Amino acid sequence: MLKHVGLMLATPQNTTYFCIHIYVYESLVLGSSLIGAPSTKRHFFVYTRRGCSGHIKSPTEKAQALNKCCGRAHR
């Protein structure tokens, strides 16, 4: 199971932005306890990937950057 989270960070002036993509892999590991009863353990694997960065001159550009860099299409 793969979960994707896109974060967009911008400066207070909203002139510079960069995006970080976080992927979380969730896998179920089935094992057995000492008694023989099945036990389920969850393991999470997290890694980040740098998206893109740039400069924003208008709110329209910020919206475009959000869609381009942090949208699902950028996955």
What's the confidence (pLDDT) of residue 53? 58
| pTM greater than 0.95 | no
Structure tokens at 53: 């960065």
What's the confidence (pLDDT) of residue 20? 61
What's the confidence (pLDDT) of residue 27? 54
Return d(Cα 70, Cα 8) in angstroms, integer.
7
Domain residue ranges in the chain? 2-58
What's the confidence (pLDDT) of residue 74? 38
Secondary structure (3-state) at 43: strand
Q: Which of 13, 15, 22, 16 is nearest to 51 (CA)?
A: 22
What's the confidence (pLDDT) of residue 72? 46
Mean pLDDT by 10 residues, the chain (75 residues): 58 60 56 50 51 63 65 44
